Amino acid sequence: MTLSDHPGERHRQVAGLFTERVRGTRSWDAPSPVAGWTARDVVRHLTEWFPGFLSSGADVRLPGGPPVEDDPVAAWQVQCDGVQAVLDDPESADRKFTNPHIGTLPLETAIDRFYTADVFMHTWDLSRATGQDDRLDPAFCAELLAGMEAMEDVIRSSGQYGPRVEVPAGADTQTRLLGFIGRDPFWTGR
């Protein structure tokens, strides 16, 4: 599937795939490719950082779901639906997001660039942790990789990405993206 360039539709597609992986998870305690994280922690990360980011930058409050510890599927679904409602709201087209580190952007651009991209990359983590299909859209992998490589020093200094993992010469874009963000593309959990 080719992902849309429109932030609302791209979120629907990316979050839809992540939702499938959430629903397909059988062991929430399975280790993930992120050191020290389990499958549950992947969902926890996405549902914990973004509401505050959105609230502080655009005064948008997402509905709260149950704690990830109690029900990771419902916690994810409530947030997923809330973000999609913001993106689908015609009034959001004129809203701005402001952050001292990134400046002012259209709200839908900020969601797409920071959150949807994060969901996309963490789809691999959850898929790999739980033994599900971990293939990602190659065109979006290439787009993200090109954008991040152009600002590697800033990304590395943020502490949000681990050191680059070297990958074989000629590796596909997904493998190169995973290596860039500090994942071992060949991680098996064993």
How does residue 161 score in pLDDT terms, banded at 50, 70 and 90? Answer: confident
Domain ranges of the chain: 7-132, 137-185
Question: Is the pLDDT reported for residue 157 higher than 90?
Answer: no
pLDDT of 102 reads 87
Single pTM value for the model:
0.95
Domain over 7-132 is classified CATH 1.20.120: yes
The token pair that represents 55 in the structure block: 């609230």
pLDDT value at 5 more than 80: yes
pLDDT score recorded for residue 155: 82
Residue 189, classed as helix, strand or coil, is coil
pLDDT (tens digit, 9 = 90+) per residue, 112-144? 999 999 999 999 999 999 999 999 999 999 999
Residue 190: band (very low, low, confident or very high) from pLDDT cuts 50, 70, 90: low
CA 76 to chain centre: 12
Which of 20, 45, 18 shows the shortest CA–CA distance to 34? 45
- Rounded to whole angstroms, the Cα distance separating 104 from 75 reads 29
**Binning pLDDT at 50, 70 and 90, where does residue 23 land?**
very high
